[in-house]
Amino acid sequence: MRHYVGGGFDGSGVPFPLVDPVRGTTAGEAPAASRELVDRAVDAARAALSGPWASWSPAERARLLHRIADGIEARFEEFVDAECADTGKPRELASTVDIPRAVANFRSYADLLVGRAERSWNTPTPDGRGALNYTVHKPLGVVAVISPWNLPLLLLTWKVAPALATGNTVVAKPSELTPGTACLLAEVMAGAELPPGVFNLVHGGGGDAAGQWLTEHPGVDAVAFTGESRTGSTIMRAVAGRLAPVSFELGGKNAGLVFADADLERAVEGTLRSAFTHSGQVCLCTERVYVERPVFDAFAEALAAGARELTGYGPMVSAAHRDKVLGYLGKAAADGRILAGGGVPRFGDDRDGGFWVEPTVLTGLPEDHPAVREEIFGPVVHLAPFDTEEEALALANAGPYGLAATVWTGDVSRAHRVAPALDVGIAWVNTWNLRDLRTPFGGVKASGIGREGGDHSLDFFSEPMNVCVKL
């Protein structure tokens, strides 16, 4: 585990332990960047802005992104191993979602970049000779990319790819819990003929560490961050003085609506996926499900049975996160009912030292209960009934978050009526997490600022400039 600064690897810094979530044992260590190293990384990124990188054409940058994608594919199994070691997620998930999506991130932005055209206008003037107005997109400059622990490579590359596509330079800081795939990505960058300083990587924590020093740095021109809403607020304060633009994908307490006319079996299967994929440690996971009363009991029984039968799920990422989730379950057990799960599974082997929580289905809690209102980010879903469409929307839209929602219905008119009325950035109808990388991704309220994906990311990472030429 090394930093990557100015085109070279650096192992300096006080080491911190890396823990295997599956077994709870120390699996290695990584170096924490000093403030001086963060300064060096930002300086290297700023110097690269005026170096050869500044003259690279969009076509050259697109070819670079394809080389990076090729490099990840060439070391695919190494990336899968690192992702599983850091997060504890099942290998099937890492090999079919996380690593392929990282490859797709680079390829999709390469293709979008090549097909992107600047706009121009012929403008009349009083003398009849006219003027030509056209738009030029320029890079923001040095971009700090701070990525979370739940989808380490996927979300890191989701920001790095468009930042590089638009000509910026990057200083990336992965979560201190999951640095492995970021280190491999730096090795791929080193072999991809990237000018020194264009991509830099530093390791360490957030507060009074690499994360804070990076976001507060006067040489950083923009910040792209995925993580907790509270951390997003801290970063907002850090950049406020220099008015640096931010792109935030933050927390969620996502709702699902199940109407009586839905295909119940399909709704149960979809909710099992949306609630328990990666043990609920995905920002898009469903934590609240509101079910129309005539089918509530049948849905609850089927979902609880499905949760009890789940196998092959992974642990929480850390002991602290496991304890947080179990704390919510303790409160829920005292105030409501646990239909499935609610505890720690026992395996009878070394996994009993890991950070596991059973897939859990709750019901009977009031809407202002912490387990219903606050983001748990674990394998926990709460069920409650509703009677009318208006009530369902009011319940789904309540609370501080607004990232994603699901709607399960057999009525196409209702689908088109309800989905746009949800206060979220993404609404899925009769499916979950079906993504097109060209579409806008992000949330409202405490779930984020701005949109990622397709042209939306390219627009964030570039500054449009108007040029007017009098003819």
| Active site (catalytic) residues | 249, 283
**CA 214/CA 42 separation, integer angstroms:** 8
Query: 459: closest CA among 35, 33, 137?
Result: 137
Q: Where are the beta strands (DSSP E) in 277-365?
A: 286-292, 337-340, 360-363
217 φ, ψ (degrees, to nearest 5): -70, 130
Query: Directed axis angle between helix 58-74 and helix 152-165, to 10°?
Result: 160
In sequence order, the β-bridge partners of residue 426 are 404
* Residue entry with tokens 């899925």: 428
* Residue entry with tokens 């050869």: 52
State the maximum Cα–Cα separation within the chain, in Å, rounded to a whole number.
87
Q: How many CB atoms lie within 10 A of CB 122?
A: 9
Q: Could you give the C-alpha distances from 66 to 70, 189, 216, in angstroms and in order?
A: 6, 11, 32
Helix (H) or strand (E) holding 244: none
8 Å CB contact between 61 and 167: yes
Contacts of 326 by beta carbon, 8 Å cutoff, 6+ apart: 344, 357
**CA 264/CA 212 separation, integer angstroms:** 47
Q: What is the DSSP string of 414-433?
A: HHHHHGGGSSSSEEEES-SS
DSSP label of 438: T
17 φ, ψ (degrees, to nearest 5): -75, 150
